[in-house]
Structure 1
């Protein structure tokens, strides 16, 4: 590494300019800054789910599962890890608490990748829950053991999908030099920090990521479309109040997932483009990881303002009802108040 830095980097990369967005400092400062905002919001969202979710909604457990994953990943990516990755490779280092306490990089990568994949598979679980409530036909998962297997499938599949990536951990020094063939002029931190390369088999990494996204997307697509179809028929077996509640919950849930997905579209597209065309821009990578770290907070905010119970609870902090004061709440009968008022009226003198 020292030889490459002396003979190649200092000579051929001296004209390459990096700005603040490419730097270690940008990721460190903004990672810590957004954690102060997003983590309290996530925790408040969990409190609302626990305390303010109506029992008749029957979605509390699934929402708690999703929100717990959001809290875990937001803390992990902004405080515990804060990954500084050199895309389009699987190399980089972390600048969070885990590094300070000497937590091995391979375990940091495993927790982050499997955690993100698990969050991705939590969405089908929520949509299946609504699907099971809305659909009245036999075309749904009805048996308890079948639902347990469905949940187990979506909880464990992220582990097995990402496992192939961790079966090809290369020797680190040769791997670091191999990465320089793809990124000949990385930021100076590449030569100053302990670089960890997860894999050099980029096709395996892309296949694992694509499989995770595809399987989760197919499930979400089926449960959402089929639920929407039966939601239009809910008037055949439910009261008007129940219809309005189910439609409002489904719309709020769909909007929450849509906002979360929309935040992730840009980072996912950038990662795909970087791998496909060997494009390197450290600033874009840093911003992409900050967007991934904060997308759960946007989903939480959407949930709080879309669900009526949470929205009313929040508005109660700012719009407290004042006690009503009028004649109806007085202990004095109305006819006595009328007489009293008449007694104080002076006669008109001509």
Structure 2
């Protein structure tokens, strides 16, 4: 949700792909917060979305699996997870530190995208990078690394659960409950994650092929900003207790409405 608020309220960015630049129109701009801090804030919360997914899978792994060194991992898991957050902040602050001199960088952006000069004030444009090779390498390394860790935990959970079932350490009923819950967790994570994957793929294509379409870019930002909203909806309908309670309240409201209507008709008659 922090990422959604940062995009939809705090910064409201107009991203100018294929360049690494944009304009902020959010609340932070009204309070005079420098653009570099706003860019770092949005990217930090975006990276923390991936970290939260990793933390969920690690928690399931630590809870369900029996493995060598588990007692040691009890003490290492928190520092391990915190290190991910600190590394993200460090490298994103480095992004801000190596940002180019803005006047010349903005002029270069206006040369690449001359059409935006008539619609946006040049003094509002912030350029994070002119040569984005370093940034792309770090982004790819981060996604690949965290993705590998997540897949490792998922694979370990599946392998351990099947192994326990074969050794009859868990009953079939317990296995089915764990399987249902795990599938629900995966759906809860993967469906909203699509809201980030689609914009990321478009951004990658736009940068790789130097393609500019501001309408598509704005639409991609809108899709990404809906990640938290979609995640909440999926959580409510995927997990049985939440779904059951929601359906109960909807059906109850419908019955109450019908009863009130019927009583009103009887009073009139």
- Whether the TM-score (by the shorter chain) exceeds 0.5 is yes
Provide the residue aligned with 1:155 in structure 2: 85
Provide the residue aligned with 1:333 in structure 2: none
CA distance in 1, matches of 2:157, 2:117: 49
Provide the residue aligned with 2:105 in structure 1: 175
Given that residues 79 and 97 in structure 1 are in contact (C-alpha distance below 8 angstroms), is that contact kept between their aligned partners in structure 2? yes
- CA RMSD in angstroms comes to 2.1
CA distance in 2, matches of 1:252, 1:193: 47
Matches within 5 A, 1:210-289: 210-235=140-165, 236-289=168-221
- Normalising by structure 2, we get a TM-score of 0.86
Q: Which has the larger helix fraction?
A: 2
Provide the residue aligned with 1:311 in structure 2: 243
Given that residues 110 and 117 in structure 2 are in contact (C-alpha distance below 8 angstroms), is that contact kept between their aligned partners in structure 1? no
How much does 1:312 deviate?
Answer: 2.0
Provide the residue aligned with 1:200 in structure 2: 130
For structure 1, the residue ranges without an aligned partner over 5 or more in a row are 1-70, 323-350
Q: Deviations over 1:75-134 (max 9, x none)?
A: 121111110011111212111111112121111111111111111111111101111122
CA distance in 2, matches of 1:77, 1:271: 16
Matches within 5 A, 1:33-182: 71-138=1-68, 142-182=72-112
CA distance in 1, matches of 2:117, 2:215: 10
How much does 1:142 deviate?
Answer: 4.9
The alignment partner of 2:91 has SS state of helix
Given that residues 182 and 278 in structure 1 are in contact (C-alpha distance below 8 angstroms), is that contact kept between their aligned partners in structure 2? no
The alignment partner of 2:33 has SS state of coil
Given that residues 165 and 204 in structure 1 are in contact (C-alpha distance below 8 angstroms), is that contact kept between their aligned partners in structure 2? no
The alignment partner of 1:93 has SS state of strand
How much does 1:280 deviate?
Answer: 0.7
Provide the aligned length of Structure 1 versus Structure 2: 252
Given that residues 196 and 227 in structure 2 are in contact (C-alpha distance below 8 angstroms), is that contact kept between their aligned partners in structure 1? yes
How much does 1:201 deviate?
Answer: 2.5
Q: Deviations over 1:168-209 (max 9, x none)?
A: 122211111111233233363234661111222211221222
How much does 1:263 deviate?
Answer: 2.1
Given that residues 134 and 234 in structure 1 are in contact (C-alpha distance below 8 angstroms), is that contact kept between their aligned partners in structure 2? no
- Normalising by structure 1, we get a TM-score of 0.67
CA distance in 2, matches of 1:233, 1:320: 44
Larger radius of gyration: 1
For structure 2, the residue ranges without an aligned partner over 5 or more in a row are 256-269
How much does 1:253 deviate?
Answer: 0.7
CA distance in 2, matches of 1:99, 1:141: 48
CA distance in 2, matches of 1:171, 1:76: 25
